[in-house]
Structure 1
Amino acid sequence: MKSTRTYWNPLDLANDNMWEDIPGSDGNLQQLTIALDSDSGDYTRLTRFKDGYSTKAFGAKSHDYPEEIYVVQGRLYDMAFNMWLEPGCYASRPPHEVHGPFIAEGDVIILEISFPSQSATKR
């Protein structure tokens, strides 16, 4: 069962110490897991990009499971789709869909809902 938590604001500065740096990003890319099902591996997380940061060093990404993303703040350029993602943009990605690398314009926050339990390799 996915973890739960009564109303709270993960974007409040008082919770800033909860964000974790993503290795290899020199603190320019951070994540905050806000819900997790430790049995299935499904999770909901926020990812934060600092203004101007490019994920070219990480290359394009794909997963063997579906995920949903929602742009909360800032603009993010997705090189795989040759398009800018604005606040309010949403995507429901099927397994193996290539996305990124990304370039952040302004500080960017993305909400990710990922479903490793629905991995294409488990079917």
Structure 2
Amino acid sequence: MSKPEFEFFPVSDIGFTICPGGDPLITERILSKDPQTGIATRILRYAPGADSTPMGVQRHDFWEEVYILEGSFVDLSLDRTFSAGQYACRPPGMPHGPWRSDEGVLTFEVRYPAPEEQEG
């Protein structure tokens, strides 16, 4: 994995863009990204009223760690609300979402590839 090297900088220098799926209420600020794998560190933002139901339950082929910075959202599959100060660590393949946020939410996410299985 190869992400670019950065020294401290204001993250506000990077704008938010609409996430894959095309909902303008769900945006991301990519802090760093490996151009070969697409693995990224990002800030995810759901504006008030955002709902990812059209994207369905998510499963990734990478590890994902998420820390909720502000606000809250509801995992509609679990019917549970998660809020600021909570953390998740998801192994590859773990189902999560879809999500809805009435008040809006801001998360910090780190993604990294699953180690390749060793033969032997």
**Do they fold alike, i.e. is TM over 0.5?**
yes
Counterpart mapping for 1:14-53 below 5 A:
15=13, 18-53=15-50
Gap runs ≥5 in structure 1: none
Match of 1:94 in 2: 91
Is the deviation greater in 39-48 or in 95-104?
Answer: 39-48
Q: How does 1:53-72 map to 2 (within 5 A)?
A: 53-72=50-69
* Structure 1 Cα separation of the partners of residues 82 and 43 of structure 2: 16
Find out whether 1:75 has 2:76 as its counterpart. Answer: no
Q: Which residue of 2 aligns with 1:104?
A: 101
Higher relative helix content: 1
Answer whether contact 1:80 1:98 (CA < 8 A) is retained: no
Distance between the aligned counterparts of 2:101 and 2:9, measured in 1?
26
Closer/same/farther in 2, CA of residues 41 and 24 from structure 1, 3 Å limit: closer
Q: Which runs of 4+ in 1 moved over 6 A?
A: none
Report the counterpart of residue 2 of structure 1 in structure 2: 3
Aligned length: 116
Q: CA RMSD in A?
A: 2.0
Q: TM-score, normalised by structure 1?
A: 0.81
Q: Which residue of 2 aligns with 1:118?
A: 114
Distance 1:45 1:57, change over 3 A: same
Q: Could you tell me the percent identity over the aligned residues?
A: 25
